[in-house]
Amino acid sequence: MSVCLPAAVGETLVYELTPRFDAAVLHVDLTWTTGGRRTASALRVAERVGPIEDVPQLLHNLAVSASNQRQNAVWIVKHRPGEILRCTYDVVAGRRAFEQWSDKHYPVVAPTFFHGLGSAFLLAPAAYTGVPDDFEVIVRWQLPAGYKAACSWGLGRTVGARISADNLRQSVYLAGKIATTTRQQGDRRVSLAVVDRFGFTLDEFADMTAAVIKHQCDFMGETDFPSFVITAIPAGPPLKSGEARIAGSGLYNSFALFVAPGSQLDDAVEHLFAHELFHHWCGRLLRAKQPERQAYWFIEGVTDYYSLRILYDYERWRPAVYAKWINQHVREYHLNPAIHASNDDIERDYWIKRATVGEVAYQRGLLLGLRWHKLARSRGVPNGFDKLFKSLVNRAREGYYEISNAEIRKSGVDLLGPWFAREFDQYVIQAKTIPLPPDVLAPKLAGKMTDVYAYEVGFDQQRSLKEQRVRGLIPGAAAAKAGLREGDRLTGWRLPGNPNTQVKLHILRKGGEKTITYYPRGTKKTVVQFSQ
């Protein structure tokens, strides 16, 4: 006869993290006080994270104090009741810096700092008979004098929290020669930890993030938003003045930002931070049922709609900046060859065709947010699309709640009116092209039908710049029409990456040097664009 024992309470995990900066290794020493359970325990790490195909291969010299058996990325540990387990291992990812943007999921031990997402290096309890959901967790860093540390639940060399194993893995860990600061918002703290190599100060960054958090909480009527940690580290090569390149990951009560050295604190950084922050409500509090990518148009696209709109409504952005971002999304949506990708296509190809099928999920939700907010208000719903969105969030606040396309459709009909069913079926289910009325942002912004173009440089840019000769010239493209020839030797170039800014190429032929200029324009569409 088997007996189901109640889950133990008060189990403790103590992580001692020692970065060996000279050897590019992080040593992890885990002590797990298991309580009075009489069953085995389990430890696991994520099998795969982003481009990391095999996370367990990053863990070297792993040793557990009790008998254990590995099953893929899980270690089953047999032990006596109340036994204190100890697990030690080294994290070796072979990275000393984030030289490539695709490396951002990897743990890295740079000469002066360590950075890692928990899912890519941290062994933590796995679901198993009798194992509790939450643990008392302490993280202690062993660091040289003057070095600081941070993780998703606080700043300091020693931090503690009551937290689930999943949230341990969905946390960021940063230590080394970093700068830190905190902003207080009532009972909530906004803490920042950065490897300071950017074109903005820590105080400027702290003021921006604290303001965006306050605006979103005010909009959502949020009274229970947790204290929040934001990290920022350098990634990729340094940029020229005025340029920026950024990426980020929204995590448990935190946000990990990756910024090219020298980047400015501009609207691109604000947009990325605002988008990831809004996932607190749309994506984590309000979750999508599996398979979740069927509803990515909502989780990602509606998140983009609100993140941009709140920056504008709360006057963080001027109308011209908001119009710039809306115009960009509208252009890219209509020029996207995957504009009619279905939810099944997005589910299957989101990561395989990230630049097209993946992006249409964001674009579709953003345009539908704009369209449905306007249509709902014109049909007598004063707060427009917000009535539906906030209703769904409030259900999630009352208890664990997952959405599906069918439930969004039903709630939309109930709250906004019968018209919503036809709209939903056409643009979400059938993936038809979404028409955006020119007055959708009236009276502050007016829409006008405008010719727009896809960016098309007209030749194989990467290969051509590497060989410094024109390779892969596309017949009939603007570059060919301007007189560029296959095999032309390149002696200089300006490639702005914008179809409305001229490309300038300096080439050398037998007859001497020649300058060729043209607009790198491909497919043309006529779409609505907004201005004051």
pLDDT band per the 50, 70, 90 thresholds, residue 396? very high
Residues 27 and 107 in one domain: yes
Q: Residue 346 sits in a domain of what CATH number?
A: 1.10.390
For residues 486-493, average pLDDT: 93
Final residue in a domain of this structure, among 437, 460, 484: 437
Residue 37 located in a structural domain: yes
Q: Residue 246 sits in a domain of what CATH number?
A: 1.10.390.10
- Does the pLDDT at position 317 exceed 70? yes
Q: What is the pLDDT of residue 262?
A: 79
pLDDT tens, residue by residue, 89-133? 999 987 777 777 777 889 999 999 999 999 999 999 998 878 888
- Does the pLDDT at position 384 exceed 50? yes
Residues 146 and 17 in one domain: yes
339's tokens = 């504009």
Please provide the DSSP assignment of 263-295 as one string: ----HHHHHHHHHHHHTTTBTTTBEEPSSGGGG
Q: What percent of the chain has pLDDT over 90?
A: 72
Residue 285 located in a structural domain: yes
Structural domain total, the chain: 4
CA distance 72 to 456: 45
Residue pair 526/451 in contact (Cβ under 8 Å)? The answer is yes
Residue 444 located in a structural domain: no
Residues 393 and 478 in one domain: no
Residues ≥6 apart with Cβ < 8 Å to 400 = none
- Does the pLDDT at position 172 exceed 50? yes
Q: What is the pLDDT of residue 358?
A: 94
Q: What is the pLDDT of residue 2?
A: 30
The residues pairing with 185 across neighbouring beta strands, listed in sequence order, are 188
For residues 159-187, average pLDDT: 94
Residue 213 located in a structural domain: yes
Residues 422 and 479 in one domain: no
Residues 293 and 365 in one domain: yes
Residues 151 and 8 in one domain: yes
CA distance 160 to 168: 11
Residues 25 and 53 in one domain: yes
Rounded to a whole number, what is the distance in angstroms from the first to the last CA of the chain? 75
Residue pair 79/108 in contact (Cβ under 8 Å)? The answer is no
Final residue in a domain of this structure, among 387, 403, 437: 437
pLDDT tens, residue by residue, 494-505? 998 789 899 999
Residues 30 and 88 in one domain: yes
Please list the alpha-helical segments (H only) found in 472-514.
478-481
Residues 490 and 347 in one domain: no
Sole residue written with tokens 């960016």: 455
Residues 3 and 150 in one domain: yes
pLDDT tens, residue by residue, 223-279? 888 899 999 998 877 765 555 677 888 899 998 988 888 788 889 889 988 998 999
Residue pair 313/341 in contact (Cβ under 8 Å)? The answer is no
Residue 194 located in a structural domain: yes
Final residue in a domain of this structure, among 137, 155, 177: 177
For residues 344-366, average pLDDT: 94
CA distance 5 to 3: 6
Q: Which pairs count as long-range contacts for 347-354, CB under 8 Å and 24+ apart, including other chains? A: 347/291, 347/293, 347/294, 350/293, 350/296
39-43, 132-136, 345-349, 377-381: which range is least confident on average? 39-43
Q: Residue 520 sits in a domain of what CATH number?
A: 2.30.42.10
Residue pair 499/455 in contact (Cβ under 8 Å)? The answer is yes
Q: Which helix (H) or strand (E) holds 465?
A: helix 461-467
CA distance 527 to 375: 19
Residues 110 and 38 in one domain: yes
Q: What is the pLDDT of residue 431?
A: 97
Residue 442 located in a structural domain: no
- Does the pLDDT at position 372 exceed 70? yes
Q: Which three-class secondary structure state does DSSP give residue 167?
A: helix
Q: What is the pLDDT of residue 239?
A: 64
Sole residue written with tokens 């200089």: 492
Residues 15 and 122 in one domain: yes
Q: What is the pLDDT of residue 309?
A: 98
Query: Could you tell me where the beta strands, DSSP code E, fall in 263-403?
Result: 287-288, 402-403
Q: Which three-class secondary structure state does DSSP give residue 180?
A: strand
Q: Residue 20 sits in a domain of what CATH number?
A: 2.60.40.3650
Range of the domain at 310: 281-437
Residue pair 248/272 in contact (Cβ under 8 Å)? The answer is yes
